[in-house]
Amino acid sequence: MAHAHAEPHGTPGHGGHHEQTFFQKYIFSTDHKMIAMQYTFTGLAMGMIGAFMAYVFRMQLAFPGSSVPGFGVVSPGEYNALVTNHGSIMIFWVAMPVLIAGFGNFLIPLMCGCDDMVFPRVNRLSYQLFFLSAVVLVASLFVQGGGFAGAWTAYPPLSAVGKYNLTPLGATLWVIAVALEFVAFLLGGINFITTAMNSRAPGMKAFDVPMVVWMIVIASILFMASVGPLIAGAVMLLFDQTLGTGFFNPGRGGDPILWQHLFWFFGHPEVYVVLLPALGIVADVMAVFARKKLFAYRTTVYTIIATGVLSFFVWAHHQFIAGIDPRMANVFTITTVLISIPIAETCFLYIATLYGGSIRLTTPMLWALAFLAEFLIGGVTGIYLGASGADIYFHDTYFVVAHFHYTFFPIAIIAVFAGLTFWFPKMFGRMMNETLGKIHFWGTIIPFNLIFIPLFILGAAGEHRRIFDYSTFPELARPELQALRIIATVSLLVMLAFQFVFLYNFVRSMIAGPRAEKNPWKSNTLEWTTESPPPHGNWVEMPVVYRGPYEYNHPDRAEDYWPQNEKP
């Protein structure tokens, strides 16, 4: 390590100490913490739009044809646009920006002990492109014909031909928005990977990095290695829509299945791209509140790398009924079942971390435990869908919908709440209210299960996922099935109502919560060694690292934690 321990500080990169204008500080900032906030708040705002869409189409499904308060009567075309954009927004404009870009930007420099990302201006450009993509997507909802209505997977010919999807402008804007979003995250990913690889504090070896940093870096690599074909596919789809090519048109020498391959070659690793940061957040929260060393740190890293590699060989399990060769379906069934092994192993490693720990049931810990429990249900139901035989029946039913919500909800909502409540003191310098936090927790978790368990039952009963109104399908319009739809919708309303508790707690704590000290959770990692919130440049004197991040309850020490930067 070439650096002297006392690295010079103050001169580089922070524009000196002159007063910054509002625009410099909040809009065109190159500071990683501010960019993290921009990503997080944009993501949460998009999340509200996505949640509103879910509310509207769930109301339509429970009470078909009635006027939805705040929206009006839903037309079939609007229904399609709502489900399409709900899916797109929740994955590309909520899970990605909050989990990877929000936490990645905030945590990587702080946890690696450096003053900023390695390319602050590239980082700013990344957010600006992301913001532009969000603007394009929201604008697409208001153009003639309305938002794109070809489902979030955008299968051609429905997505490629305006007279099929009836939203020619919305479809084109949707493709442009998605492509812009990908470019934004490629730029961000290069920053995350390079910063974690090259800019760690003196003394910090690769296995001294907190798990969440490993996870975000591996996720960024997965994203980078999988999104290319879909970027190419997006260009091809855009040309099919606007320039009259026939890449996905079998009548003109193209192939609609090609899009499905390009989409899912990205789409399946994408599940792990958002899963890994969530797993990382949960690992760090669990170690802190179990007051115990993370069980099998290196094994976890290797397991996750194995998962990442395997995730490139499972994509065709989304296409079992698309007419792919049954022999190929066999291969993908095997790889799909294989990938459950490392994921199950990770869950066991986390449970082993909890075993024998002094568990403190704070709000972040509750979220972390809930993540494990709920994600398990998502994982187990996936095995039915990964088996090509069972999938022929389950494909495109609500069983699939319930399955992937049991994976994505823990990822994008539960783990995000775990992370937000855990790092809130560091982000804003104040503590959140624990009582309100726990009310919000139970008010989210119980209704969540009451939304999606009925959907499993409905899916098993054969309810197809893309139907606007079931009253014209006698076998699906039975009152007992309609009752399940109503239970799911009412539970959604309850869950959404409880989000206002969080919103109130979040805003009130940010303004008037009790001041947070440097290290309120008695955690080891570097971000807790600086002020809350950290100043420009993060530390006055840059930290030096002497040990790994999970030295809790070390037998030789009186205190039960041992900060990474404390001299031995």
Partner 1 sequence: MLRPLATTRSAMGIPTGRLAVWWVLVSEIVIFGGILVSYIMHRLGHASWAEQAAHTNVWIGAFNTFVLLTSSLSAVLAHQAAEQGNGPKAARLLMATIGGGAVFLLVKSFEWTSEITSGFTLQSGGFWSYYYTAAGVHAFHVIAGMVVMGFVAASAMKNQDLHRVENVGIYWHFVDIVWIFLFPLLYIAK
Q: Which residues bind partner 1 (CB under 8 A)?
A: 1-3, 7-9, 11-15, 30, 109, 114-121, 186, 189-191, 193-195, 197-200, 204, 221, 224-233, 235-236, 239, 243-247, 252-255, 258, 262, 265, 537, 542
**In 23-160, beta strands by DSSP E:** none
Nearest approach in angstroms of CB 193 to partner 1 is: 6
Nearer to partner 1, 242 or 358 (CB): 242
Identify whether the C-beta of residue 103 lies closer than 8 Å to the C-beta of residue 36: yes
Over its C-alpha atoms, the chain yields an Rg (Å, rounded) of: 24
Kindly write down the DSSP assignment for every residue of 9-26, as one continuous string. -SSSSS-TTSPPPHIIII
Torsion of the alpha carbons at 71, 77, 83 and 84, rounded to the nearest 10: -130
Nearer to partner 1, 216 or 420 (CB): 216
Q: Which residues fall within 8 angstroms of residue 127, CB to CB, at 6 or more apart?
A: 35, 38, 39, 101, 184, 188
d(CA 136, CA 175): 10
Nearer to partner 1, 244 or 555 (CB): 244
Nearest approach in angstroms of CB 36 to partner 1 is: 15
Number of helices and strands in the chain (H, E)? 17, 0
d(CA 529, CA 525): 8
d(CA 141, CA 111): 39
Nearest approach in angstroms of CB 259 to partner 1 is: 10
Nearer to partner 1, 200 or 403 (CB): 200
d(CA 103, CA 206): 19
Nearest approach in angstroms of CB 212 to partner 1 is: 18
Nearer to partner 1, 43 or 537 (CB): 537
Nearer to partner 1, 64 or 229 (CB): 229
Nearest approach in angstroms of CB 435 to partner 1 is: 39
Nearer to partner 1, 16 or 69 (CB): 16
Nearest approach in angstroms of CB 6 to partner 1 is: 12
Nearest to 421 by CA among 543, 539, 516, 550: 516
Nearer to partner 1, 200 or 268 (CB): 200
Nearest approach in angstroms of CB 94 to partner 1 is: 23
Secondary structure (3-state) at 464: strand
Nearest approach in angstroms of CB 376 to partner 1 is: 32
Secondary structure (3-state) at 490: helix
Compute how many other C-beta atoms are within 10 angstroms of the C-beta atom of residue 16: 8
Determine phi and psi for 500, rounding to 5 degrees. -70, -25
Nearer to partner 1, 462 or 533 (CB): 533
Nearest approach in angstroms of CB 421 to partner 1 is: 28
Identify whether the C-beta of residue 419 lies closer than 8 Å to the C-beta of residue 368: no
d(CA 241, CA 380): 39
d(CA 131, CA 227): 19
90 - beta bridge partners? none
Nearest approach in angstroms of CB 226 to partner 1 is: 7
Nearer to partner 1, 86 or 536 (CB): 536
Nearer to partner 1, 31 or 374 (CB): 31
Nearest approach in angstroms of CB 278 to partner 1 is: 23
- What is the greatest pairwise CA distance in the chain? 76
DSSP letter at 514 equals: P
